Chain A
Amino acid sequence: MSETTNSVANKDPILSVIDLSVSLPPRADRPFAVENVNFDVYPGEILCIVGESGSGKSMSSNAVMGLLPKPHVNVASGQIMFEGLDLTSISDQQMQSIRGSKIGMIFQEPMTALNPVMKVNKQLEEVFNSHHLKLSRKEVKAKIIEMLDDVGLPDPKIIGNSYPFELSGGQRQRVMIAMALALEPKVLIADEPTTALDVTTQAQILKLVAQLQEKRNMGVIFITHDFGVVAEIADRVIVMQLGKIVEQGPAEQVLNRPEHPYTKKLIATVPSLSAQQKAPVTADVVVSVKNLFKTYGSTKKPLFGSAGRIVHAAKDVNLEIRKGETLGLVGESGSGKSTVGRCIIRLHHSDSGVIDFQGQDILGLSDSQMMPMRQHIQMIFQDPYASLNPRRKIGDIITEGPTIHGVSKQESWKKAEELLEIVGLDKYALKRYPHEFSGGQRQRIGIARALAMSPKLLIADEAVSALDVSVQSQVLELLDEIKTKMDLAMLFVTHDLRVAAQVCDKIAVMKLGEIVEYGPTYEVFHNPQHAYTKSLLEAVPGKDWVVPDLSLS
């Protein structure tokens, strides 16, 4: 294990996890969150721990930091050796002095990991103060500015003087990194630090982590679920499944020649970034959107304060979707892609424009005129936990739509049974409540609910973004199958270019409410015209990694 990569061959590990097991409370679904885990971290390397949700990847790093949610979750056995100390057996006080100064950590949500009512400067000062360093105020101040400069923040003085809410997500994550690195730790633990960020910001943060790691010769434990990120930065990779390490080795080896069946399965489900050339769809146009405008906020001056800011969520948006065609609407957060989807289904009011649905402008219809049109356009939502009513049975949820439109109860229940079969669940699910299902299963239920209306246009709003990669590929397969079987037009809203490359016939790239590029998927991916599209594609993590074809083995 220690002779893994050339760069670390002759060094001693700075952190060794030996036979670590972390126990879960008695009512949990398995006895150990982490079971007999062994790994070493060497100075100057990035060790990626990958796995799906619930694989124990975060638990193993929390154990290192002594951040397990005690008393329910405890280290059951094993050692964590760091500088000759066993971190599992030292006192809380000793742990506190190590935490932050020798082992730093950055978290997924920069929004919640920073104190919202404290200026950035103050928070960084805290780090120094809590470790009783003999530094004068002046020295601390200089140090803070140096730190902020180090993590690539422009104008460290101004940034230091602002509150977290005044910063963007990427800037917050940089501040987090500055905090974690303030005392020059030897090990940095990064728990999904880029998951909540946009793809271009993510690329910058990944680059920053790699740079700092090299500069300071740190060991980095980088936890992620995204194989693209692994391909981008990892030196070595650990793959975890249900609390156990199933494979570990150099990144190049694990990514391209995985040995364990689970790793193979995971990698096989990673969508490739290269789009296939597809024949253009020439069937009838189902929906065409012309000159759609939508703004948030108003210029009207309120009684107190100044006039609000106007945000263009959709600015002269034009697009059309044909029968059996999937149009991908891609862009970063705040680009207005979801708004366009919601305007088409009339969940949001549009300011102006025409949405021509099979010859009828649905924007001009009154609510009661819209009623019969509702069944033709359906939507699948992002969060499978919030999109099903927790107090209603699955059967009631699926049959709600048809019942509203006058289908008899028996008939709609019968149809619901068939639909559940199509989406791969058995009919007993009808009598159960949403909380009894996993995220992937719930998303299938959401799809069944949309299909119960026999729609002609399906809007998938980030429908697979909240799912684990293996579940994601299954749901994508299901969506594709349904689309072909029922000859649906589909608007696929996503921020994930890999997914878009595999699913969509055409792509529309949105930026700040405007479509900046619109064309067949193959063209957009292999010959992007607009600078923004180019930068998006450039930022996709692991873009140079060609996902190996493992279907034969």
Chain B
Amino acid sequence: MIAVDQSDILPSKVLDAATEVSIIATDPQGVITVFNRGAELLLGYSAEQVIGKHTPALFHLASEVAGRSLKLSQKYGVPIEGFRAFVHNPEGQGREQRQWTYVCADGSHVQVSLIVTVIRSTEGVVTGYLGVAYDISKEVQAYKAVKEFRNTLDRVHDGIFMFRPDTLGFIYVSLGATMQLGYSSEELLRMSPLDIKPEFSEASFRQRLQPLLDGDKTLVMFETIHRHKDDHLIPVEVSIQLLSEPGQEPLFVNVVRDITERKAAERVMRENAQYTQAILDNVIDGIITIDSRGTIQSINLAGENIFRYKAAEIVGKNVKLLMPEPYHSEHDGYLQNYHATAIPRVIGSGREVEGRRKDGSVFPMDLAVSRSVHQGQPLFIGLIRDITERKRVDSMKTEFVSTVSHELRTPLTSISGALGLIVGGALGELPEQARLMLDIAYKNSKRLAVLIDDLLDMDKLAAGNMQLDLQVQLLMPLVEQTLAAVSTYGDQHQVRFALIERADQAQVRVDGGRLQQVLTNFLANAVKFSPSGAQVEVAVRLQQERVRVEVIDHGPGIPGEFRKRIFQKFSQADSSDSRQKGGTGLGLAISKELIERMNGVIGFDSEEGRGARFYFQLPIWQTQDITQQSGCSKTAAGR
């Protein structure tokens, strides 16, 4: 409280000299009695306009005054309004300093710091009030700016710290910093980075900062761990800059990002990558990826083993390195063609090609290529299987059949040949019983030969190794040759053959020898099941686009229970121990396979007791060119 006599009021010249300060005095009712030059400049009113005419309400925000009045009224429990809002507290405390908004004559607002003092007489009577106001607009703006800046920093999820270069003590910490570490801002402002960075000593931390102080770097970044208030560790990424303004103390600004989730994601990605890599490394097939230029991007462990390169030796090189000619020269063409036309030649389909190992050796492989996209660029993925072993086994199988065939037939040639000479009479007459025994031996040696042939044929057909020499040729000559070849067999059983229908113009595409084998089988069966003196008819007839060859016998016919399995392997109508008719039981099964391989159909009609009609049908070929079977007609005795 200031006790000031009116005569003690500073002379107006002194008042007016204080142009940076607004000095306004009022009487006890609030009417303005003094309005200095500073007030004129600040508010835009002249002293004459306001002295004795207005109260300070003229240049105060009514809403602000009302708000202040309400607060004071609530606080003190008495109505305090208008001018009393300015002077109530100063009357009690002597003075009051508050921020107010001045409204200037032009309507603009100015933030001021207003000190209101009570003027009393020497007797203590209030004689007026003095208001001294400073324009604090800039400070207010600066404060607002700082506040806004702090608010912005506090909205950032990352922790922001500022610390001094000399003591390393924190002078500012953001809301994010407190939330990251669990400390309050007050607690943190008593700490330094060393209190939260367990991996660093002071020396090692200062070593990190030195390049910033030396000006060698503008930013330092590193990963470390921070210790939370509850002692758990947080993986963080730290970036530190030095703020250095002329005339101001330099400060370190430290932005800290909690990378716990990122580390966890990285760990998951690493584990997934390891899992995927483990799978890739354990698949049997090689997996190679290339880009659109054919540059190898990756190769798995199996691929390394197949080609005998280490990944480091070939990643980055062109995949042509792994191809022998002609694939080596053609590969660029494949890629160019695909890029130009988008038509895949190899892509999406598997095929058998050759690969070249590091040592230059060439090997067969199955290759399947698919297309994918990686980071917006095409990526081609090749799946490779080394089929060297498979080829070797296939070759062995083929060779096995051929070798077994030879090894079985060689001793049989000697046996049946020697017996044939004796039985044929080339070595003179034999005693009756000896001749009988040798006859038996000879017939069975021939039977053995037939069995070997049938077994080998069946194996070849089952394995897909039967090679047929398909030629377009007239059918009738094949039929006639077969009839001539089996006529002796028919004579031996008193069965005659009759060709009752012909189709001389019919051309078929067949392996002639194998077709004769089928017809021989039909005819031999017909003879076997015909009574002595009977006739077996053969008919060849055209049926639109097919030709049908029938062998008709008048024997006992096919029993009902046998009909379903007649074309199965080792199937015979009489399978009892006293089997009468002989044979291997493979003839019809082989015939069926052969006819079907020649695009034909095989079948029979029969009624028990009324003979049987076995037939095969083949498509007719219309071509004018007839390829005659020349030279080689394979003949095998007794078939």
A pairs with B: no
